[in-house]
Structure formats: C-alpha cells, structure tokens
C-alpha cells in the first residue's frame, strides 16, 4: 500500500491508527471513526470526562456546576441562554469592528517593528476578542494575556511525588488568586453596577457567585483564548509555508477563506482528544462499551477518516467537501451537546487577523514554531514562531517600536 502524503505540522510523524475501536491496558476505549464518534457524542449515554472532570466529581457539590460539566436538561437550558453570544449574526454585528480594530493594532505594531513572534500576536488578538465576549474588560492592571498564559502553561498537572503535587497545587492556587483579584473580581464589580451584553453579566443575572463566575472565566479562557491562539498560529504556518495556498487565501472572498481555514483546522485540530464516560451501555459498530467506561475520541483520526474526508485526508485540500453533512472542520469543534459554541467566533477572528497579516509586503516566516504538548487541552502548543516583514515604512495603527515578544 502506498504511503499517503502527510501535510500535518503538529502530529510529530504519528499516523492515525487504522483500528476503529479498541480498549487499552488502562481500560480506556479509543474511538477513531467519524460514524462512531458522532453516534457517541450525539447520544445521551455519556458525560464529560475531560478537563479534570473526574477531579470535579470528587469535590462537594455546592451551587452552580460549570457549564463545561453540566449534563441533561440543565446543560441544554444554559447553552440556550448563552447561545445568543455566539451566533454568526451576533459575532458579525457585535464583534467584527472590534476584531478589525484589534487586528489593525497588533499587526500595525508588528509592521512598524519589522519583526514579531506569531503566537504572541495571536494571543493578544484572541484575548482581546474573548475578554469582550466574556466581560473581562476591567482588569486592575494590564497583562491579562500573560496571566491566562501562566495559568494554562503549567502547574495544573497531577503527577509526581507528594511534594511535587503539593507545589503544583500551590502554584495553581497562586495563579488562580492573581487572575481572580486582578481580572475577574473588578469585572464582576463593574457589571453589578452596569450590566453589559456579555457572559459575566448573564451569570450574575442567573445568581452565580463570584467563585462560580471565576470557574466559568477559566473555562472561557481555555476555549476562547488559548485554543484560538494556537489556531491562528497553525493557519499562518501552513499559509506561509505554501505560496500557492497563501495566494489562494488572500485572493478569495470571505466564505472561501473561512472554508480554507476550517480545512487547516480539520487537519490540525487544536484539541486532539475528547474524553467522555459512559452512563449506560453504548452500542457502536460491532462493539458495546459498558456503562462507567472512559472513552477517548481521537479527533485527529476522526478528522482523517476517509469515510468522511475522502481521499488524501492528511493533506490540505481547499476544495474538500466532507461527507455525511460534516462541516469543513469535521469534529475539530467537537459534536453533540458539548460542541464548542464559539466555532464561528474563532473562524471569523482568525480570518480578520490573518488576511491583514498575509497582505503585508515581504512577510516571511523567519523561524518555524517549536511544537510542544498541553495535557490539559490534549493539544499542541506552538511557540517561538518568528516573523519578519518589509512594511515598517508604511503608516499603520500602533506606536510601539519594540519587537513583539512572546508572552512566556
């Protein structure tokens, strides 16, 4: 059998397993086909098992459960109430101007400097947008992006010896406290005085306590800031490495550009694995997974399933049309009742940023990103990706002459 071409930048040479379903020695079931993944995620016989969900199960239940871990009717109702923040129309009417202004500012400073670090620019863009959606706009001091970075960069692992775990817990608590006092608490106070059309105002109207709002802000921090930064970076990497793809992107209209970015995301999903735990027996293709079992959905493998993505699933093909009514990103935003609600938001802000960036004269990738792994979101991290451009003589927004540096 001929070896298929692999255009992925973040898979580190790992070819998706051809075994559709299997149970490993630790007792976790692995699903790698689109049909089985969709059936399990759209069913009502599982609950969230990723993002430290098992740890949450051990804690005393008081007050509101974070939306990421809600299930059943309560979850559906909360999703219904927050959905208006993320509809394509809301994103386009409420946030397009903000996205354009942020992109012009970030890229303007990069153009003036002539050199900048791509992931830092992507993080600044992502934080600027998500903070408006969530309502984290009243921080006591600047540096929300650095505090979010620090919180998700490390210290959340639950591994090693007793003293290492204790130190990790102390580090995580210190970062959590700093995020709360400097960012979350003042934003809550501002919205108690004057509610806005954002998530924090909505949570206050639902009677959420400060500690519960803090938890939701962490959830949206991971979803709306950290992952979008990686998405922007990986798309820019592909487009800068492929002149024909870049030309097609910059000459395309907006819908075609969105489809192209979703195709890159299909190939390079930011969240690589979705974890669930079965709450009843689940019958899949010739296999029944018993109640109480942990299931890992391999998003990379699912997105590369020829049954949905067609021929050459490990390459970027802008004209690919996934089958079975799957969107262009296939399962990169998840599926079922826990599907990421901010998919369109991420696509639009990435496009608004990238179309401006890639039109800069002389733009080039000086150094490809370093690729590492984040266990919390089961996804890649791209850092130290240095860009150069020849646009410093042009008049653009921004006033800083300093090279744009990574935030950590």
Q: 227-241 and 343-358 are packed helices; what angle lies between their axes, rounded to 10 degrees?
A: 40
Please give the pLDDT value at position 59: 41
Confidence of residue 404 (pLDDT cuts 50, 70, 90): low
What structural domains does the chain harbor? 21-54+65-388 (1.10.630.10)
H or E stretch at 173: helix 162-179
CA distance to 48, 333, 387, per residue, from 349 (Å)? 28, 15, 20
330: left (phi over 0), alpha (psi -120 to 50) or beta: left
What number of helices (H) and strands (E) belong to the chain?
Answer: 17, 12
3-state DSSP call for residue 356?
A: helix
Question: Shortest CA distance to 293 belongs to which of 281, 277, 280?
Answer: 277
Greater pLDDT, 396 or 28? 28
pLDDT digits (tens, 9 = 90+) for 366-387: 999 999 987 767 789 999 999 9
pLDDT surpassing 80 at residue 165: no
Residues 6+ apart with CB under 8 A from 273: 50, 296, 297, 298, 299, 378
Please give the pLDDT value at position 395: 42
Report the largest interatomic distance among the alpha carbons of the chain, rounded to a whole angstrom. Answer: 66
Greater pLDDT, 235 or 82? 235
Q: 227-241 and 254-267 are packed helices; what angle lies between their axes, rounded to 10 degrees?
A: 100
**Could you tell me whether strands 294-298 and 29-31 are parallel, antiparallel, or unpaired per DSSP bridges?**
parallel
Weakest-pLDDT range from 58-62, 68-72, 176-180: 58-62
Question: Shortest CA distance to 128 belongs to which of 336, 353, 290?
Answer: 353
pLDDT digits (tens, 9 = 90+) for 186-238: 999 999 999 999 999 999 998 998 988 988 888 877 678 889 999 999 999 99
pLDDT digits (tens, 9 = 90+) for 222-279: 678 889 999 999 999 999 999 999 999 999 999 999 999 999 999 999 999 999 999 9
The span from the CA of 290 to the CA of 278, in Å, is 7
Buried b (16+ CB within 10 A) or exposed e, 233-262: bbbbbbbbeeeebbeebeebeeeebbbbbb
- Quickly count: other Cβ atoms within 10 Å of residue 71's Cβ: 15
Confidence of residue 400 (pLDDT cuts 50, 70, 90): very low
Decide if 298 contacts 15 (C-beta within 8 A): no
Greater pLDDT, 394 or 249? 249
Q: What is the mean pLDDT of the chain?
A: 86
């Amino acid at each position: 059998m001929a070896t298929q071409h692999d255009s992925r930048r973040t898979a580190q040479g790992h070819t998706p397993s051809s075994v559709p379903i299997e149970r490993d020695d630790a007792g976790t079931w692995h699903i790698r086909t689109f049909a089985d993944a969709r059936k399990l995620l759209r069913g009502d016989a599982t609950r969230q098992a990723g993002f430290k969900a098992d740890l949450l199960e051990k804690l005393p239940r008081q007050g509101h459960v974070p939306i990421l871990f809600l299930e059943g009717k309560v979850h559906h109702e909360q999703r219904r109430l927050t959905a208006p923040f993320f509809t394509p129309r809301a994103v386009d009417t409420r946030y397009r101007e903000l996205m354009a202004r942020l992109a012009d500012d970030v890229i303007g400073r990069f153009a003036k400097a002539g050199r900048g670090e791509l992931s830092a620019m992507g993080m600044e863009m992502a934080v600027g947008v998500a903070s408006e959606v969530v309502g984290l706009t009243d921080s006591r001091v600047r540096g929300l992006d650095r505090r979010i970075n620090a919180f998700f960069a490390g210290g959340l692992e639950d591994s090693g010896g007793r003293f290492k775990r204790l130190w990790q817990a102390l580090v995580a608590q210190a970062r959590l406290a700093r995020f709360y006092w400097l960012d979350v608490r003042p934003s809550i106070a501002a919205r108690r005085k004057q509610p806005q059309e954002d998530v924090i105002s909505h949570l206050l109207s639902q009677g959420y306590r400060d500690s519960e709002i803090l938890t939701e802000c962490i959830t949206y921090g991971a979803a709306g800031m950290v992952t979008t930064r990686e998405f922007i970076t990986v798309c820019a990497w592909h487009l800068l490495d492929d002149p024909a793809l870049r030309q097609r992107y910059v000459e395309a209209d907006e819908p075609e550009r969105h489809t192209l970015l979703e195709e890159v995301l299909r190939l390079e999903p930011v969240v690589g694995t979705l974890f669930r735990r079965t709450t009843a027996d689940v019958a899949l293709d010739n296999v029944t997974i018993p109640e109480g079992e942990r299931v890992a959905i391999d998003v990379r493998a699912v997105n590369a399933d020829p049954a949905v993505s067609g021929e050459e699933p490990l390459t970027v093909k802008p004209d690919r049309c996934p089958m079975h009514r799957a969107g262009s990103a296939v399962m990169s935003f998840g599926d079922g009742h826990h599907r990421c609600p901010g998919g369109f938001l991420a696509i639009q802000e990435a496009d608004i940023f990238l179309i401006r960036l890639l039109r800069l004269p002389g733009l080039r990738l000086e150094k490809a990103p370093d690729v590492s792994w984040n266990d919390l979101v089961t996804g890649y991290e791209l850092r130290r990706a240095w860009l150069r451009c020849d646009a410093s003589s042009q008049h653009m927004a921004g006033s800083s002459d300093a090279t744009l540096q990574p935030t950590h």
